[in-house]
Amino acid sequence: MDLNLLFYALIFLVSYIITQKLLHKLRKLPPTPFPTLPILGHLHLLKSSTQIHRTLAKVSDRYGPVVQLWLGYRRTLLVSSASAAEDCLHHNDVIFANRPRLLGGKILAYDYTTLLWAPYGSLWRNHRRIAATEILSPHRLHLLADIRADEVRSLLKNINDQAALGNDSKVEIKTALVELTYNIMMRMIAGKRMDSEEGKRFKLLLKELLSLGGAFNPGDFFPFFKYLGLNKAAEKKITAIFVKLDGFFQELVDEQRRIMEKEGDSDGNNMKSKNLIQVLLGLQKTDPTYSTNDIIKGLIQILFLTGTETSSSTVEWATALLLKHPEIQDKVRKEIIEQVGHDRLIEEHDLQHLPYLHCIINETLRMYPVAPIVPPHESSEDCVVGGYHIPKGTMLNVNLWAIQNDPKVWDEPRQFKPERFENVEGERIGYKFMPFGSGRRSCPGENMAKRVVGLALGSLIQCFEWEGGEEEIDMEEQVSVSMWKANPLQAKFKPRKQMIKLLSQI
């Protein structure tokens, strides 16, 4: 009897697998790794969350550039080629303009109402319009150029002061770069620096938040966790961080509202003197239905999340790569000296005349994209990607790292070769290189990031001789919200003889 049951169970299992494979082919669905485990789906394949980009690249190497995965109950499309990415982010851009409903988006993003997590529709269009015209427009960025210049000079002074101590010690450059980007963002947003106790408190809060970036929330993939109350621990942890962050942002908004009321605000005020919170509070008066306090705080949150760690990490990666390739460092320094000289510090308007510096930044972003896995999208209706049928409600993950390091597309992709970007018309080579994403959901802060990274990196190259030490520079990656160096870079920065006098005057 037991043998008969085992026999029928085996027949049933084999029939089920064959039937599923036939249905899969008939529906023209993308290839799916075998086996798909009950309940878990393919979560067993995602063994390393800190190296998720490499883990997913191995899946694509085996099954192809368009793969269907089941992450718990969620049908997921993994895309790892430029042509498939173009299908998703260009041909089907509107269809994939939505975001999946994940726990982090509900709690941290004010119930899916921030620019990053808002569903495609009128609210998102309002966000994008405000970001493009009032916050990150070329005119607004030009008005705030002095802030970026001041903070880069402060970075140079701090490094020069450490070098002047004469103890021949190394500088952990990431700490200095984080200070730079945090102060730039805080001055743009609230008109003050982060060197107070208030600033220290915020840095700790943001660190807590970023630590959750790659966290796995079971309720996002197993609905029964929510129904049985098994997701409460994750919700409690995220909510605790959100409450503290929300309180911090509310204090900033209240402070700027008091300042505006005290000074008396009018449309005729000099736009250059207004910080971004004041601009948003001005919009609140004309459109209170849209510009609520939560919307303003959500915009502030996104600016901090996307404009601090990402830029500082890019400069750190570029610095590490140049330390490993001193001949490239010499070449770009020569370009800077020819265009700027030694009589003044590099300024933002010089960046347009430094094409090789841009090549270095682009090559850094190609090898170490700040978001190796593009923030998830979700299909709003059925569509076709790479010739495969993609059902409505499929979550999309684009492996940007795999696309930008594909040996079929890039010659020696793990070799640092800035020259590959020389004489390239436009900075996007089709969909082979898109470090800021593409389509409607691309990063609106691209122009600001390029200015900060270009000015900071160019200034460090112009002013200092770098030395990494005798040890091999560790280039291991760690992925959370963005791609970081697993071990922060430490290097010696010695003022160049020609720049000592100028640096002493900062």
Would you say residue 324 has pLDDT above 70? yes
**pLDDT of amino acid 428:** 57
Kindly report, residue by residue over 26-67, the tens digit of the pLDDT: 569 999 999 899 889 999 888 777 789 999 999 999 999 999
Alpha-carbon gap, residue 473 to 488, rounded angstroms: 10
How would you classify residue 264: left for phi > 0, otherwise alpha for psi between -120 and 50, otherwise beta? left
Q: What is the mean pLDDT of the segment spanning 348-361?
A: 97
Predicted confidence (pLDDT) per residue in 260-269, tens digit: 998 875 544 5
| Whole-number pLDDT of residue 441 | 94
Pairs from 239-244 (Cβ < 8 Å, separation ≥ 24)? 239/107, 241/108, 241/205, 241/208, 241/209, 241/212, 242/107, 242/108, 244/205, 244/208
How far apart (Å, rounded) are the C-alpha atoms in residues 421 and 423?
A: 6
For position 211, what pLDDT does the model report? Answer: 73
> pLDDT for 129-186, tens place per residue?
999 888 889 999 999 999 999 999 999 999 998 877 766 668 889 989 999 999 999 9
Rounded CA-CA distance 305/448 in Å is 14
pLDDT at 325: 95
- Could you give the CA distance from residue 468 to residue 490 in angstroms, rounded to a whole number? 7
Instruction: Assess whether pLDDT exceeds 70 at residue 21.
Output: no
Stretch 356-376: mean pLDDT: 96
Distance between CA atoms of 256 and 189, rounded to whole angstroms?
10
What pLDDT score was predicted for residue 271?
Answer: 57
Strand partners, 464: 495
Mean pLDDT confidence for 70-79: 95
Q: What is the pLDDT of residue 168?
A: 64
pLDDT in tens, 437-486: 999 999 999 999 999 999 999 999 999 999 876 568 889 998 877 788 98
Sheet holding 66-71, edge to edge: 66-71, 74-79, 395-398, 377-378
Q: What is the pLDDT of residue 5?
A: 63
pLDDT more than 90, % of the chain:
65
**Residue-wise DSSP of 33-75:** -S--BTTTBTGGG---STTHHHHHHHHHHHH-SEEEEEETTEE
What is the pLDDT at residue 61? 96
Q: Among 428, 433, 421, 405, which residue's Cα sits nearest to residue 358?
A: 421
Structure tokens at 413: 């992709």
Measured distance CA(135)–CA(118) in Å, rounded: 18
CA nearest to 316, candidates 475, 144, 436, 471:
475
Q: Is the per-residue pLDDT at 116 higher than 80? A: yes
Please give the pLDDT value at position 427: 52
In 436-497, beta strands by DSSP E: 464-467, 477-479, 483-485, 490-495
19 falls in which pLDDT band (50, 70, 90)? low
Q: How far apart are CA 193 and CA 199, in angstroms?
A: 8
* Domains present along the chain, CATH in parentheses: 29-504 (1.10.630.10)
DSSP of 289-308:
TTS-HHHHHHHHHHHHHHHS
Per-residue pLDDT, 268: 46
Average pLDDT, the chain: 88
* Contact criterion met (CB below 8 Å) for 351 and 345: no
Give me the pLDDT at residue 206, please.
Answer: 80
Q: What is the rounded end-to-end Cα distance, in angstroms, of the chain?
A: 89
Alpha helices in 131-220, H assignment, sequence order: 138-143, 145-164, 173-190, 197-211
pLDDT tens-digit profile of 490-502?
A: 888 899 999 999 9
In SS3 terms, 64-97 reads as CCEEEEEECCEEEEEECCHHHHHHHHHHCCCCCC
pLDDT, one tens digit per residue, over 402-412 is: 999 999 999 99
How confident is the model over 343-352, as a mean pLDDT? 96
